[in-house]
Amino acid sequence: MTVANSAQMEGFLYDRVSRHVMGLVESGTLKPGDRAPSLRQLSQQLKVSITTVKQAYVALEDQGVLSVRPQSGFYVNNRVEQAPQVQLRSTTSFKPRKVRFGELFEEIFQIANDPNIVPLGAAVPSVDLMPVKGLIRATNRAASRLAESVLDYCFPPGNAELRRQIARQYLQLGMSVSPDDVIVTSGATEALHLCLQAVTRRGDIIAVESPTYFSVLRLIERMGLLAVEIDTDPETGMRLDALENVLETMDVKAILSVPNFNNPTGALMPEENKRRMAELIAEHNIPLIEDDVYGELYFDEQRPPVIKKFDTNGLVLTCSSFSKTLAPGYRIGWVLAGRYRDEVLEWKQATTSAVASLTQQAVSDYLRSGEYERHLVRMRKAFREQVEKMRFTVAHHFPEGTRMTNPRGGFVLWVEMPRGVDCLDVFNRALEAGISITPGIIFSATRRYRNFIRISCGHSWSAEIEQAVKKLGEIVAA
């Protein structure tokens, strides 16, 4: 069983310092221009090392709260004027934060593959919901029938028949997508990376939802980009008034959004907002990277449209994959990159070249068999039921003051615990009890969502999961 390691402990202490100083600033005890407490003073007061205080101060400097003056110490800044409910934070360059995020990430991914941990952490759908037999049959057939060609390269943009099948999927949305528009990638993760490479440069500002999927934040951090976190409604997604405000006041180079069943909130952006978003980016001539990996997993009657449907300027780059619906391990994603198609293709060729020929062929054959649509119907029903059961069980076992989302698709639940409950504490104590969840703070570069956790409902409901949620409730209440 993993327990909090020293880096995490350090993280706790360091956050205690940040919170303390932010408290002084927000209460007005410390005003703009005031000198912050000295390192030694705060070290003694909070019983943490001087190094930890130093790290926390550097982070606050990085966040624009403090400034360092040589030979003098740290001082409180004039806060930059901000749009309401929108915060600008750098996600880059501050070493301790990066390292700590990295370790947490690694732990989360390692846990995801550990059969001894109840898997409520990673947003990975259980393989028992996948069409294992049908896909393996398609795979074996493709391998035997096309042995030589599956051993050979299938250079970008990828398998022509697969691209045709992917393009056809957009017919249900009333969109006309050409196979030439489709570039096959190694999952949606690579698609997002290629899009960011194509439309941004180190130091650029990009607008993202808050909260945002932590892997996106990690990617942004690695690439040296700055994230403006746009406040996001748990029902309707990114707030367009806030976005508009930011677009008018900052030099935003791209927007990254998950309009359909956002991770972690499950928010679904209404069609009128999608239309407005398409207008907004046209007005500002800004590319929008749209992550649609959950789009097929809707609970209501209709497949929600992608923003690209309303984009008449080629400004939307829509990324998706079969990782949430068919086979994460096959690594088949794609991007419809609009006017950035050639640029994305060149990045693809230069950085990873071909995607595995065999898994491309197998997915293509499986799609052509017509089984996929039937499988999706079953899978949507399964996720809807799992999410319902999870909501019911959380409501029953978690303490008063707990709130949660009511997603209309996807398979994650965003849970707000009573104020004062620390998600990292819950994360560690759950892990000791053999349960994984995802701590809320990693869904924002600004460390908001300290009393939030994300619970994945990707696995079939079981007594074990029910017990685990009950145990989680006890941990949160304790």
Is there a contact between 17 and 48 (Cβ–Cβ < 8 Å)?
yes
Task: By CB under 8 A, name the binding residues for a second copy.
Answer: 102, 105-106, 109-110, 112-113, 124, 127-128, 130, 132-133, 135-136, 139-140, 143-144, 147-156, 186-187, 189-190, 193, 197, 201-202, 215, 218-219, 222, 323, 327-331, 342, 345-347, 349-359
- Report the nearest approach of a second copy to the CB of residue 99 (Å): 9
One DSSP character per residue, 9-25 reads: HHHHHHHHHHHHHHHHH
The dihedral sign for the CA sequence 319, 323, 326, 331: positive
Q: H or E element: which one contains 67?
A: strand 66-69
Which pair of structure tokens corresponds to residue 13? 């202490």
Q: Which is nearer to a second copy, 359 or 438 (CB)?
A: 359
Determine the Cα–Cα distance for residues 322 and 134; give it in Å rounded to an integer. Answer: 15
- Report the nearest approach of a second copy to the CB of residue 424 (Å): 20
Determine the Cα–Cα distance for residues 164 and 180; give it in Å rounded to an integer. Answer: 8
Q: Which is nearer to a second copy, 81 or 128 (CB)?
A: 128
Q: Which is nearer to a second copy, 86 or 123 (CB)?
A: 123
Amino acid, res. 86: V
Q: Which is nearer to a second copy, 97 or 303 (CB)?
A: 97
Is there a contact between 76 and 25 (Cβ–Cβ < 8 Å)?
yes
- Report the nearest approach of a second copy to the CB of residue 276 (Å): 31
Q: Which is nearer to a second copy, 214 or 298 (CB)?
A: 214
Q: Which is nearer to a second copy, 149 or 236 (CB)?
A: 149
- Report the nearest approach of a second copy to the CB of residue 459 (Å): 12
**Coil, strand or helix at 233:** strand
Beta bridge partners of 205: 226, 252
Q: What share of the chain is helix, strand, coil (3-state, %, to 5)?
A: 50, 15, 35
- Report the nearest approach of a second copy to the CB of residue 153 (Å): 5
Q: Which is nearer to a second copy, 349 or 467 (CB)?
A: 349
- Report the nearest approach of a second copy to the CB of residue 27 (Å): 37
One DSSP character per residue, 359-398 reads: HHHHHHHHHHTTHHHHHHHHHHHHHHHHHHHHHHHHHHHS
- Report the nearest approach of a second copy to the CB of residue 187 (Å): 6
DSSP 385: H
